[in-house]
Amino acid sequence: MSQYESAYEWLGGDAKVRALVDRFYDLMDLEPQYQALRAAHGPELDSARDKLYWFLSGWLGGPNLYIEKFGHPRLRARHLPFSIGIAERDQWVACMAQAMNELAVDPELANRLNQSFMQTADWMRNRGVDMA
């Protein structure tokens, strides 16, 4: 990543973050293998699209759009109302990997992001884990 100041820049900036998020949610709607993930999101995806775009922008090292709008992301707390198990975790990560692949994200960056996404998605699980 030495030639880039951030993963945000490496990915391609604002337009690429938005394209990635849009493709992610489009795939969730289109592909049957993401059915459990899609079901967890309710009938409309517009709000989720915007929130993920705002979050990823800052998380990748770009503008902190989410924090400016809502404060600290508190990811785990904000996801507790949703039933998230292994299927949802795996589908989220697979859907994002497919979106990155379709948008031709640099394979090295995609690999790094996939690792981070899996760790974060696993941390979001609130079903099928010891909650002690």
Task: Write out the DSSP string of the chain.
Answer: -TTSSSHHHHHTSHHHHHHHHHHHHHHHHH-GGGHHHHHTT-S--HHHHHHHHHHHHHHTTS--HHHHHHSS--HHHHHTTS---HHHHHHHHHHHHHHHHHTT--HHHHHHHHHHHHHHHHHH--SSS---
Q: Is residue 4 part of a domain?
A: no
Q: Is residue 6 part of a domain?
A: no
Q: Is residue 29 part of a domain?
A: yes
Q: Is residue 3 part of a domain?
A: no
pTM of the model: 0.90
Could you list the residue range(s) of the whole structural domain that residue 41 is in? 12-124
Q: Is residue 41 part of a domain?
A: yes
The per-residue pLDDT for 80 is 81
What's the CATH code of the domain at 32? 1.10.490.10
The per-residue pLDDT for 81 is 84
The per-residue pLDDT for 1 is 58
Q: Is residue 93 part of a domain?
A: yes
Q: What is the pLDDT along the chain (132 residues), one digit of tens a residue?
A: 569 999 999 999 999 999 999 999 999 999 999 998 999 888 999 999 999 999 999 999 999 999 999 999 888 888 888 889 999 999 999 999 999 999 999 999 999 999 999 999 999 999 876 544
| Number of domains making up the chain | 1
Which one, of 40, 117, 126, 123, lies nearest residue 85 by Cα? 126
Q: Is residue 28 part of a domain?
A: yes
Q: Is residue 7 part of a domain?
A: no
